[in-house]
Chain A
């Protein structure tokens, strides 16, 4: 990356940081919503709803995907595709597993009669966790685009830029998940 590109990259980094700040406020507002409405006087209590196993499993996959992404990032500088591609693949795989687990978790709850409109607790639960899951899904699409970008031989400095921005996004999504673990689940599971 030459000086000129580095300066532009710094613009983008700064801009994206602000964007993540906006996202953080969004999630904070949703956390507040969840805290206000949980537990609700009507409908099920959170501890009746949540399933420990799927929460732990999905957390393991999502949180370790931040680690695998860092492994993959190591292959970025020297253009070591042998490092970059497989680890990015693992990250994508983990993300997809996480999504699968989330979907099956939601599916089970709904089967048990705990839907979006059952109570204000469940409303705020689905809206918050659902928005996070949507972020993971978006991230999966983004990773696929990153794979295709590799094939397209764009300037390597531009690729680094795109890749780094994605990695900020991905780590951010993981941090939000930690928040969800603490605020949404842990208090009612253990």
Chain B
């Protein structure tokens, strides 16, 4: 269809998207008006409370997960049959779809949902009343939101990037992709990445400085440990990525010569990208490991086996994560010595990972197992992840990688590891923490349906891809030929993908009916072990008054065992100061507007938005939420 504003033909999927978004928008607006929910929206736009910010992270992460999942189904539909022409998803469109799928899954779905769970659970697990910097926390979330929205906008203007989630130069430079498409990638990822860095910083300060009395580092629950170490990974990895994107932005906008031209070096982009990209895999996996540890201990009614080993292995994995990035670049010609060194460091990661797997198994051994939905997801994770680990060791043999590289074998491998850890972890986390977030408990029966459909679909999708890949199917290609022996495996993969889709639909239905039923649960629906189960569900805004005193690991569990209440103290520790504010929302979205102006060369818009961002800085400096608490003498904090 030809639409004047776009000045080119608009493909039918874009039109379909516009139409459906407008319809959904109208439906939502009527709902909001009818039910008079403006106050709730306004409240969440201004909130700085960790549970609410965490909820926002979950909601928008999940929304983007759905979008990226629909993209996955489109990819799989196109690949279902040889020489298929499904709708219009061939050629360039296919490139756009897998780029969007990969980028969204990593940056706008998996990472934010994990940050959301951290936001909800970490303060509660350590007895803190909020994250250390509530205002900054809101800024972090809205930056993610603004970056994600900007990235999503690309599709609606028929300008989705098509450079892969890795944005490899020189394809991503203006030499080969001069249109705005790649700019959406650069700016969208950059803005949300900034938010991720701020949130990580916040988590670190919170964990180091706001633990309840007696909560020593070696008494912390493992999810908190994982969050702490992940946050350090984020600080380094996302910062390197930010600089990579910054240089790419200069190449694209101001014609600098980093990644193309006679002196430019595309391999330098690969180094910067993978110094970020590999640790990112652990940024996704470690928090999930933490969640599984907590869930498995809870539902085995046993203490975690080998707690110090668990902590040390998280740290070791995190350290090694920065020593292996070249295994993504075995085939670019860095030489046998470099390849061998990085092959060995890669294989070394299997050791601490193996330690964790055995500790999970030993935790369950002799325990009283309860097969709840979160536990099922954790159990489903272990063998699935181990399978991904095995193919990982295969890929780390650099000589063999020349065969596997850029084939569907790699696609199978990384989905096995990321999906098994991150996505199953997030699902487990959602079921586990849903009571703490909303006060309701999700339906267990539907949860099990969700689990089985998803797990079976997952293996059905990705297991055949190993074979497809070894039979020679390259990744990032939109079709294959009839006689290549790829038809059956591809077709099975597609069936599996739709099964997963049905699983997620079941979960949606579950969310829907649970929220409608409004059946409250108590503070401790799972018979939990750690401090988060001592506060009401949903977690109140002034939790931990008075403060619990922690004398051992899993303090709540042992208190329950002894039939006592947790000891508490009235001691007043300085707690984070929060005050609702609309500034984070405005500031982050203005940053997206600024990027939009730069991308389209509307300098006036960029300048206005930039000035607006600085105004937000200044206004915030003059309306510091600490102002009312300072200068009041020793007990100034009690006056409010």
Given the known inter-chain contacts A120-B258, A123-B258, A157-B631, please indicate yes or no for A4 contacting B263, CB distance below 8 A: no
A186 within 8 A of B: no
Contact B621 A149 (CB under 8 A): yes
A111 close to B (CB within 8 Å)? no
B-contacting 9-mer, from A26-34, A50-58, A91-99? A26-34
| Interface residues as binary, A36-69 with B (CB distance below 8 Å gives 1, 0 otherwise) | 1100111100000000000000000000000000
Given A42-B263, A117-B257, A15:B631 Cβ within 8 A: no
Inter-subunit contact A30/B257 (CB<8 Å)? no
Neighbour of A116 across the interface among B243, B255, B622, B636, CB < 8 A: B255
Residue of A nearest to B261 (CB): A120
A150: which B residues are within 8 A, CB to CB?
Answer: none
Inter-chain contact B624/A41, CB cutoff 8 Å:
no
B631 pairs with A155, CB closer than 8 A = yes
B-chain residues with CB within 8 Å of residue A26 when the two chains form the complex:
239, 242-243
When C-beta atoms are compared, the residue in chain B nearest to A23 turns out to be B239
Q: Which residues of A contact B272 (CB under 8 A)?
A: 29
A175 to B629, CA, bound (A): 34
- The A-B contact count (CB < 8 A) is 131
Interface string of B611-632 (1 = CB under 8 A from A): 0001000100110101101111
Question: Which residues from chain B contact A121 at a C-beta distance below 8 Å?
Answer: 263
Is B254 interfacial (CB-CB < 8 Å)? yes
Q: Does A127 contact B (CB under 8 A)?
A: yes
Interface size on B, residues (CB 8 A): 53
A74 smallest CB distance to B (angstroms) = 22
Q: Are B261 and A25 in contact (CB under 8 A)?
A: no
**Given the complex, which residues of B lie within 8 Å of A183, measured CB to CB?**
none
Report how far A120 CA is from B633 CA in the complex, Å.
57
A19 within 8 A of B: yes
Q: Give the residues in chain A near B243, CB-CB below 8 Å.
A: 26, 29-30, 33
Q: Could you tell me the distance in whole angstroms from the C-beta of B610 to the nearest C-beta in chain A?
A: 12
Q: Given A7-B574, A29-B240, A145-B621, A117 and B254 touching (CB < 8 A)?
A: yes
B262 at the interface (CB under 8 A from A): yes
Contact with A along B372-398 (1 / 0, CB 8 A): 000000000000000000000000000
- Determine chain A's interface SS by DSSP, over half rule: helix
Bound-state Cα–Cα, A120 to B169, Å: 15
**Given A29-B240, A155-B631, A145–B618 Cβ distance below 8 Å?**
yes
> Are B633 and A2 in contact, CB atoms less than 8 angstroms apart?
yes
Instruction: Say whether A15 contacts B205, CB under 8 Å.
Output: yes
- Are A4's CB and B637's CB within 8 A? yes
Residue pair A119, B574 in contact (C-beta under 8 Å):
no
Q: Which of A29, A43, A126, A158 contacts B631 (CB 8 A)?
A: A158
- Kindly supply a per-residue 1/0 record for chain A positions 5-16, scoring 1 wherever the CB is within 8 Å of any chain B CB and 0 otherwise: 101101110110
Q: Are A11 and B627 in contact (CB under 8 A)?
A: no
Interface check A110, CB cutoff 8 A: no
Q: Mark B244-257, 1 if CB is under 8 A from A, else 0.
A: 00110010001111
Q: Closest CB-CB distance, A76 to chain B, in whole Å?
A: 15
Determine, out of B102-110, B143-151, B196-204, B296-304, the stretch whose residues face the partner at the interface: B196-204
The verdict on B235 contacting chain A, using a C-beta distance below 8 Å, is: yes
Q: Are B202 and A22 in contact (CB under 8 A)?
A: no
* Chain B: minimal CB distance from A8 (Å): 5
Complex: chain A residue closest to B635, CB-CB: A4
Residue A72 at the chain B interface, CB threshold 8 Å: no
- Taking a contact as CB atoms under 8 Å apart, the answer to whether A15 and B133 are in contact is yes
Report the separation of the CA atoms of residues A162 and B577 in the bound assembly, to the nearest whole angstrom: 16
Set B254, B268, B630: member contacting A157, Cβ < 8 A: B630
| Minimum CB–CB distance for A124 against chain B, Å | 7
Contact status A119-B257, CB under 8 Å:
yes
A10, B512: Cα distance in complex, Å: 44
Question: Is B630 in contact with A29, judged by CB distance below 8 angstroms?
Answer: no
- Decide yes or no whether B264 CB sits under 8 A from chain A: yes
Tell whether A141 is near chain B: CB-to-CB under 8 Å: yes
Q: List the B side residues contacting A123 at CB < 8 Å.
A: 250, 256-258
Query: With A116-B254, A117-B254, A141-B614 in contact, do A7 and B573 touch (Cβ < 8 Å)?
Result: yes
Alpha-carbon distance A37/B265, docked complex (angstroms): 9
CA A29 – CA B276 in complex, angstroms?
12
Instruction: Please determine whether A11 and B256 come into contact, CB atoms closer than 8 angstroms.
Output: no
Contact B240 A25 (CB under 8 A): yes
Q: Does B209 contact A (CB under 8 A)?
A: yes
Interchain CB contact under 8 A, A4 and B636: yes
Residues in B whose Cβ lies below 8 Å from that of A36: 265, 268
Query: Contacts A120-B264, A127-B256, A149-B621; is A25 near B239 (CB within 8 Å)?
Result: yes
* Shortest Cβ gap from A7 to chain B (Å): 4
B17 within 8 A of A: no
Residues of B contacting A42 with CB < 8 Å?
Answer: 262-263
Chain B residue at minimum C-beta to C-beta distance from A21: B235
Which residues of B have CB within 8 Å of A119? Answer: 257, 263
A82, CB-defined interface residue at 8 Å: no
| Contact (Cβ within 8 A) B240 A15 | no
Instruction: With both chains docked as a complex, state the minimum distance between the C-beta of B50 and any C-beta of chain A, in angstroms.
Output: 15
Considering the complex, give the chain A residue whose CB is closest to the CB of B242. A26
Task: Give 6 A-B contacts (CB < 8 Å), ordered by A residue.
Answer: A15-B201, A18-B201, A126-B256, A145-B618, A149-B621, A154-B624
- Chain A residues packing against B (C-beta within 8 Å): 2-5, 7-8, 10-12, 14-15, 18-19, 21-22, 25-26, 29-30, 33, 36-37, 40-43, 116-117, 119-121, 123-124, 126-127, 141, 145, 148-149, 152, 154-158, 161-162
Q: Which 3 A-B pairs have the closest CB atoms?
A: A155-B631, A7-B574, A123-B256
Known contacts A43-B263, A120-B263, A120-B264; 18 additional CB pairs below 8 A are A4-B636, A7-B574, A8-B574, A10-B209, A15-B133, A18-B235, A29-B240, A33-B247, A33-B258, A120-B256, A120-B258, A121-B263, A123-B256, A148-B622, A149-B622, A157-B631, A158-B626, A162-B621
